[in-house]
Amino acid sequence: MKEREDFKSCYIKYANKIYRVAYKMLNNHEDAVDVVQEVFLRAYKNWNNFKGLSKMSTYLYRIAVNLSYDYFRRKSKEKKIENLNYENLASLSFKNDFDTKFRNERIINEIKEEIDKLTEKQKTVFILKTYEELTYEEIAKILRKRVGTIKATYYQTLQKIRDNLKKKGVIKNEM
């Protein structure tokens, strides 16, 4: 009975976070819900095998990222990521106030297009760092990569977005 209560509290604590990551990666509510269900089904099946060598959140995020990759690969040809919360990115990335709402919307749409062009790895690191606000160390554990690799990937991703926005004339040196 204690195990069931522990699992229930784990679900309550992490289900929304797992959903948010899956949704941002897949841009589809039904797929994100499926990922959450599958994550916790797998976690429940292996509940007694979890040794606690990493944090529970790291373990669950890792399962979620892998499942999201699988869903994304299956559907990548037919779907594009469109509904990420780009307003947060714009407020984080652009220091200057914009004169018009039109300019803001244009930049958000251009950022959206650039994020759609990212590789799977870049998009995952970007989402976990920017939207989930995880540390480089946490992302490294989730993706089973070195911290330096994650930092480099994040930096290169930001640079890629900036450079492409500059080439399009969307920004000058604002980012």
> Residue ranges per domain, the chain?
2-75, 86-167
pLDDT of residue 73: 76
- Asked if residues 74 and 65 have their Cβ atoms less than 8 Å apart, the reply is no
Centre a 10 Å sphere on the Cβ of residue 43 and count the other Cβ atoms it contains.
19
pLDDT at 154 over 90: yes
Model pTM?
A: 0.62
pLDDT of residue 64: 92
DSSP per position, 81-149: ---S-HHHHHHHH--SPPS-HHHHHHHHHHHHHHHHTS-HHHHHHHIIIIIS---HHHHHHHHT--HHH
pLDDT at 146 over 80: yes
- Cα separation, 11 vs 42, whole angstroms: 12
- Asked if residues 150 and 142 have their Cβ atoms less than 8 Å apart, the reply is no
- Asked if residues 147 and 137 have their Cβ atoms less than 8 Å apart, the reply is yes
Mean pLDDT of 1-9: 69
The yes or no reply on domain 2-75 and CATH 1.10.1740.10 is yes
- Asked if residues 38 and 67 have their Cβ atoms less than 8 Å apart, the reply is yes
pLDDT of residue 117: 87
pLDDT of residue 5: 64
pLDDT at 145 over 90: yes
Kindly report the average pLDDT of the chain as a whole number. Answer: 80
pLDDT digits (tens, 9 = 90+) for 12-55: 999 999 999 998 888 889 989 999 999 999 988 887 777 777 78
Domain at 86-167: CATH code: 1.10.10.10
